Structure 1
Amino acid sequence: MIDAAFAAHVAERDRWARGPRGPLALVNAQRVDHPQPVWPVPGTWAPTAGGLTVTAAAADGVVVDDVPVDGTVLVAGDTAVVPSVVVFPESFAGTVSGSTLRVWDPAAEPIQRFARIARFDQSDDWVRSGTYVPLGDGAGTDREARGSVLDAAGDALPVAGHIETAVGSTTVRFVAVRSAAFRGAPRLQLIVQDATSALPEDDPGSTYSMGRFLYLDDPGAAGTVALDWNLLVLPPCAFSYQFACPIPPEDNRVPVPITAGERHPVDAAGTVLH
């Protein structure tokens, strides 16, 4: 029987997956490096400092930050103090990340098919502790560690340190990267592959082949940390080909199965969506 906090986590993850800005709604993520159209929305898009510009006529129905576009306007990217939100006809929406326009469709076909995120049953056996050792001053091997994890764009992620723990009978020293704060609290992230990471047609008991994420509180200093593997989550790329996947570092590829956490997004018949 799952506890109330875990049930709330499951419900929130399913809501996130099918939401209007959730991963199933992303229908295009197009890099804009010169003036060009972007499928399936109107306007001509071009790169500029701080985001993109869109050029459209009033009849195109493009609205940026609640103002209808008739000419050329700035669409501020996600690093701006207030990022822009773009609304198009037929309920499409757009956001800018770097030089990429992301187009969201709240009525996308995958959302209609989606039933739930399949997961392993919650088990106290998968609540473990580990020893967190933050990196030092960046000298020597620390510099190598800082460049050992790449995000989906190929940029180095900030490595926070290492977490040593037991997975089954195997002792593993995971590389932990810094994650965005969650509800104001700093977090660490593990990008993990394990023996369940496989294509579902190759292994019916599989999890997403590119790996999964585990988030945990950042203690800010060396010490013992809690690792609840029941909270392993799928990356956005498990839901849509429009997302690229970060590659788990070598240290985070474990040869034993972690039979906990999320497995795949599935439809009502249990068929894997992606």
Structure 2
Amino acid sequence: MSAAEPDLSAHVAARDAWARSARGPLALVNAQHVDRPQPVWPVAGQWAPAPGGLTVTASASDGVVVDGVPVDGTVLVAGDTAVVPSTVAFADGLAGTVQGSTLRVWDPTSDAVSRFARIDRFAPRSGGWVTVGRYEPRSGLEAPGHLTDAAGDPLPVAGTVETTVDGVPVRLTAVRSAPFHGRPRLQLIVQDATSSLPEDDPGSSYSMGRFLYLDEPDGAGDVALDWERLVLPPCAFSYQYACPVPPEENRIPVALTAGERHPVDAAGAVLH
């Protein structure tokens, strides 16, 4: 664990809060690519592609508000690459954000948010479960087409991490993730023996795999892999996210009975 990371109990609480938040994965009810003028469910307005984002055409009675101003005509909704991305508010408390040419619609009172109780986790090991790995940066490595982020965009391969998990040596492909507290991070997208079990099996985890984040060293160096911090990808919470498929070398042939398993309701039933 780096000095910037919270202890495990704080990490767990923060993850549950993130999942149910107004911009958390359970609130995402639609992510629609807009390549021509079209409506977008379940919000008002006619949406169209435009340089730097999307345009929306609506009347004042539609209740669409962009950057704090009610729309009555056609306005630009700046996307996530703008210096100041636009904020969009709709009737009934819904909100919108633009990523590339995709309108994302968020409902903080969605059925999934209402049903969610917690992210179910494996019981932590006594003393934790940390392995030491060796990170080797690699330039020119091409990512497989299925190695994408939650929006479906390709992830840049950073290098490899070699470690041993329960006696099994593995060499994992690491991709570059967004910085965390100002520090560059690596991301491992992994599956393991728990991924192939039925979701109602108490030893199972999300079938498409899980993520582990590591601080990125300045060049080749040792890294600590804290498997208790395995987290679910956004696609474990909503079908509106793209789900990356772990590369073959990241399919670990042991049971990683650590970290997050599934999002569940109050009765313990898997949400998604």
Change (3 A) 1:30 1:122: same
Which residue in the other structure is 1:134 paired with?
Answer: 137
**TM-superposed deviation, 1:128:** 1.2
Percent identity for Structure 1 against Structure 2: 70
Equivalent residue for 1:108, pick from 107, 110, 113 = 110
Which residue in the other structure is 2:241 paired with?
Answer: 243
Instruction: Measure the CA separation in 1 of the matches of 2:251 and 2:25.
Output: 25
Within 5 Å, which residues of 2 pair with 1:1-274?
A: 5-123=7-125, 124-135=127-138, 138=139, 143=140, 145-148=141-144, 150-152=147-149, 155-198=153-196, 200-201=198-199, 203-274=201-272
Q: How many residues align?
A: 264
Instruction: Measure the CA separation in 1 of the matches of 2:82 and 2:196.
Output: 38
Residue 151 of structure 1 aligns with an amino acid whose one-letter code is T
Change (3 A) 1:13 1:252: same
Contact kept, 8 Å, 2:155 with 2:176, in 1: the verdict is: yes
Instruction: Measure the CA separation in 2 of the matches of 1:155 and 1:31.
Output: 13
Contact kept, 8 Å, 1:146 with 1:156, in 2: the verdict is: no
1:60-91 CA distance string (max 9 Å, x none): 11001111111111111111111111000000
**TM-superposed deviation, 1:202:** 6.6
**TM-superposed deviation, 1:220:** 1.8
TM-score, L = length of structure 1: 0.93
Unaligned runs of 5+ in 1: none
**TM-superposed deviation, 1:150:** 2.0
Instruction: Measure the CA separation in 1 of the matches of 2:50 and 2:248.
Output: 37
Residue 265 of structure 1 aligns with an amino acid whose one-letter code is P
Unaligned runs of 5+ in 2: 1-5
Contact kept, 8 Å, 1:146 with 1:157, in 2: the verdict is: no
Change (3 A) 1:103 1:156: closer
Residue 95 of structure 2 aligns with an amino acid whose one-letter code is A
TM-score, L = length of structure 2: 0.93
**TM-superposed deviation, 1:12:** 0.4
- 1:146 is paired with a residue of what secondary structure? coil
Contact kept, 8 Å, 2:128 with 2:228, in 1: the verdict is: no
